[in-house]
Structure 1
Amino acid sequence: MSALLAEIERFYDAVPRQRADAEDHGPLTLFVRRGDGWPYYARPTLGHRGPLSAEHVAAVRARQRELSIPEAFEWVLETTPGLDAAAEATGLRVRRCPLLVLRGEPVQPALPKDISLSVITAHDPDLAAVQAVAHVAFSALSTAAGPAGPAERDAAAATLPAGYVAVWHASLVEGTMVHAAARGRGGALAGPLCAGSYQHAQDVAEIVGVGTLPAARRRGLAAAVTAVLARHALDAGIRTVFLSAQNDDVARVYERVGFRRVATACIAEPPEQEERVPGLEP
Structure 2
Amino acid sequence: MDSVRAEAFDRLERFYDAVPRDGARAEEYGALVLFVRDGAGWPFYARPRRDATAPPSLADVTAVRARQRELGLPEAFEWVHEVTPDLLTVTRSAGLSVLEAPLMVLDPAGPPDPATLSDVPVRVLDPASPGFAGDVAIRRAVAAVGFSHGGTARGGAGPAERNAVIAHLDVAALDEEGARIADGRRISVLAETPEEGALASGMAMRVEDVAEIAGVATLPVARRRGLGAAVTATLARELRAAGTDLIFLSAGSEEIARVYLKVGFRRVGTACIAEPAALIV
TM-score normalised by the chain length of structure 2? 0.92
1:225 to 204, 209, 231: 231
Equivalent position SS for 2:278:
coil
CA distance in structure 1 between the aligned counterparts of 2:156 and 2:40, rounded to whole angstroms = 31
Equivalent position SS for 1:132:
helix
Equivalent position SS for 1:272:
helix
The reply on whether 1:64 has 2:71 as its aligned counterpart is no
1:93 to 91, 97, 102: 97
Q: What does the per-residue CA deviation read over 1:175-199, in whole Å, with 9 as the maximum and x for residues that have no partner? A: 221101110221xxx1111100110
CA RMSD of aligned residues (A): 1.4
Displaced runs of 4 or more, over 4 A: none
Q: Which runs of 5+ in 2 are unaligned?
A: none
Partner of 1:163: 172
Partner of 2:21: 17
Partner of 1:127: 136
2:251 to 217, 228, 245: 245
CA distance in structure 2 between the aligned counterparts of 1:152 and 1:201, rounded to whole angstroms = 33
Equivalent position SS for 1:95:
strand
More helix by share: 2
Deviates more, 1:1-10 or 1:254-263: 1-10
Supply the AA of the counterpart residue of 2:126: T
Supply the AA of the counterpart residue of 2:125: I
CA distance in structure 2 between the aligned counterparts of 1:8 and 1:136, rounded to whole angstroms = 29
Q: Which runs of 5+ in 1 are unaligned?
A: 276-282
Taking only the aligned residue pairs, the percentage that are identical comes to 49
The reply on whether 1:202 has 2:208 as its aligned counterpart is yes
1:153 to 156, 162, 166: 162
Contact 1:116–1:185 (8 Å) recurs in 2: no
Contact 2:102–2:254 (8 Å) recurs in 1: yes
Q: What does the per-residue CA deviation read over 1:50-71, in whole Å, with 9 as the maximum and x for residues that have no partner? A: 1321111001111111111000
Residue 161 of structure 1: CA displacement?
2.5
Contact 1:36–1:167 (8 Å) recurs in 2: no
Residue 164 of structure 1: CA displacement?
2.3
Partner of 1:183: 192
Contact 2:79–2:273 (8 Å) recurs in 1: yes
Residue 89 of structure 1: CA displacement?
1.0
Deviates more, 1:101-110 or 1:89-98: 101-110
Contact 2:55–2:84 (8 Å) recurs in 1: no
Partner of 1:278: none
CA distance in structure 1 between the aligned counterparts of 2:183 and 2:55, rounded to whole angstroms = 38
Partner of 1:137: 146
CA distance in structure 2 between the aligned counterparts of 1:274 and 1:35, rounded to whole angstroms = 26
Partner of 1:273: 279
The reply on whether 1:118 has 2:127 as its aligned counterpart is no
Supply the AA of the counterpart residue of 2:124: V
Partner of 1:280: none
In the alignment of these two chains, the number of paired residues is 271
CA distance in structure 1 between the aligned counterparts of 2:135 and 2:9, rounded to whole angstroms = 36
